[in-house]
Amino acid sequence: MSRPAPLLSALVTVGALLAGCGSGAADPASPFPERPADIDVSTVDMCRALTVGEQAELGVEPGEASTRELSNGPTRICGWINYDDGYSYGVQTIADGAVVAVGGADSTVDVLDGYGVVVESTDGTSMPLCTLYVDVSDVEAIRVQVRATKDDASGIPSFDTVCGRARDVASKAIRNLGAAAP
């Protein structure tokens, strides 16, 4: 009769260990703050990221919408170019949350308008590019990209200048797409 006690004890121990590995275990802490609101960008027209007035401020024509297939699923994109001042702008959906961009080369985590963002700045062998992944929901992100396409009066624009433009466009996209989302 003494055998059931060790067996019971072993089962309780194994059960407790397994319970710690299941869905009841705490998930790793998110690098982002709690969102002010989720933004469902699954169906909204990405060209609504900038209003007509905001497009005029940037000196761009209405955006050009397109779709593509990424390794993680389809994406919808809207792009604008100002050939005079040498900046291109893009806003697109990413099928994963912004957390997938955390830890990439030349990336930092920041907050914009209450939303977590991952900021990546790269130049490779060309002009500066700044990319912001905006944490708009658990399953989607908005990727905003701004690239300098030519020198300005002082030479190649700095990353601070290009990323400042990207933050401005991302802030507008958060507001406009949030209002347009179903």
* Residue 22 in tokens: 């299941």
- Indicate whether 54 pLDDT > 90: yes
CATH class of 46-180: alpha beta
- Indicate whether 14 pLDDT > 50: no
Residue 166: pLDDT band by 50, 70, 90 thresholds? very high
Q: What is the pLDDT of residue 135?
A: 96
Q: What is the pLDDT of residue 124?
A: 55
Give residue-wise pLDDT tens across range 69-89.
888 888 999 999 999 999 999
- Indicate whether 5 pLDDT > 50: no
Residue 104: pLDDT band by 50, 70, 90 thresholds? confident
Question: Residue range 87-93: average pLDDT?
Answer: 96
Domain chopping of the chain, boundaries? 46-180
Q: What is the pLDDT of residue 158?
A: 86
Q: What is the pLDDT of residue 21?
A: 39
Q: What is the pLDDT of residue 123?
A: 65
Residue 22: pLDDT band by 50, 70, 90 thresholds? very low
Question: Residue range 17-44: average pLDDT?
Answer: 68
Closest CA to 114 of 93, 135, 98: 135
* DSSP per position, the chain: --SHHHHHHHHHHHHHHHHHHSTTSPPPPPSSPPPSS----SSS-GGGGS-HHHHHHHT-PSPEEEEEEETTEEEEEEEEEETTTTEEEEEEEESS-GGGGTT-TTEEEEEETTEEEEEEEE-TTSS-EEEEEEE-SSS-EEEEEEEE-S-BTTBSPPHHHHHHHHHHHHHHHHHHHHHH--
Q: What is the mean pLDDT of the chain?
A: 82
Give residue-wise pLDDT tens across range 107-162.
899 999 999 999 998 765 578 999 999 999 998 999 999 999 888 777 888 889 99
